[in-house]
Every structure is written in C-alpha cells, then in structure tokens.
Structure 1
Amino acid sequence: MPLGLFGNKFSPKKTPPRRAQSLSNLHLDATESKAEFGLDYGALKVSLGGNQVAFENGLWITETGGGGSSHKEVTRLRKQNQTLHEENNFLKLKIDILLDMLAEQSAVSHFHENEVRQLREAKLGTKKR
C-alpha cells in the first residue's frame, strides 16, 4: 500500500504559534511588585470557633478568646508548671538523700547491737568459768 494514501501516522502535527504575553508585570518597581504579587502579607491570622489566633515569632498567640485562655494566662501557667516540676525534682532528691541517711544509720545501729550482744556473750562466758 502506498504511504501517501493514509499519510504518515508518526509525523506530529505542527503546534500553532503562541500569542505574545503581556510583559507589563516585569516593569514594576519593588513596591508595586510587592502589592501585585503579595510578598508583604503581614501576620497570619486564623479564626476558629470564635477564637482568633495569630502566628508571630514562631508561636501561635491568642488574640480573642471565646471561652479559651489568654496567651498571658497560658504563659503564666506554663511558668508555674515548670516551677512545680523543678520543686518536685528537688523534693525527690531530698527523699533519696534522707533514705540513704536512714539506711546508713540503720546499718550503724545494727552493727552496734551486734557488738553489744557479742560483748554480753563474752562477759557471760567469762563469769561462768
């Protein structure tokens, strides 16, 4: 069969030329490009269930509260929680030290009791002779 009859299946069609794009946005100065492309977006704010929070300096800060705690109260509670953890660790350390002291005194007491018992037995043993 001749190729001319059906045409060449594998030759791609030519694409139509593209229309010229507007280059007007390339001629903007810095302030216009910020306004045009949104590079200066400010603080990120989100409102969920009546509570509005803002993302500032890497932290979510509550701006309005619909029954939730304020940022100051949360910060105060975190500081108090940290203080209580430190106090708890200090008290655990004190208990460990007191238990060590008690074990030492108990060992000394048992040693003295055994020594007194041995001396009494030795004294009684010499009297019977």
Structure 2
Amino acid sequence: MPIFSKKFDIKNIPQRGKRDNSCAQIQEKLDDFHTIQLNLTNKRKLKFVDGTWIVTQQHGDADDITAMRKRLQKLEEENNLNQIKVDVLLDMLTENLAELKILRNK
C-alpha cells in the first residue's frame, strides 16, 4: 500500500461553457460621470466640476438675495438699537453706583 494515494494528485479542471454575448454593450459617454449635479431646492443647484462645488444660479435667486439683504439690514438696525440701549443702561448703572457711594461716605 503506497503512502501517498491518488487523493493528492492534481485534478483536471473542467472546461468553461461558451460565453453568451447576446447582451448589447452599453455605450455611455464618460463626460456624463465627470460632472455631478445636486438639486437642493427648486431654485438652488450645485455642480461638482474639477474637484470644486459650483453654485449655479437660476432666475429666482435675485429675489432671494434682495429679501435676505433687507432682512440683514433690519437685523443690523435692531442690533445697533440694542447696543445703544445697553450703553444707556450701563451709564445709568454707573451713575447710580456713584450716587450710592457718595451717600455711604456721608
């Protein structure tokens, strides 16, 4: 009885069947895959071109920009008014503390 039996012999690999080429090859332009577009809203679009995101403007953007500028101006005016109010309150507090210090020294 041999030590190494046939179980260690190299087995033959069966041949592959014929390949079915009945599917049509897809012909797509690679340029379609170089630019990515995202529709964030119906007015805003982003494009990825050459490694950077570019915002594409549409007809509704001008209205949004003017509305945002008006809102910004209103908020800046409100901020200025609040700053003046804080300054007046600090002046009043300083004046009251000075009067209180004078009254305590008497």
Which TM-score bucket, shorter chain as reference?
A: 0.3 to 0.5
**TM-score, normalised by the number of residues in structure 2:** 0.46
- Determine which structure has greater relative contact order: mean sequence separation of CA pairs < 8 Å that are 6+ residues apart, divided by chain length: 2
Q: What is the TM-score normalised by the length of structure 1?
A: 0.38
Structure (1 or 2) with the larger CA radius of gyration: 1
In terms of fraction of residues, the more helix-rich structure is 1
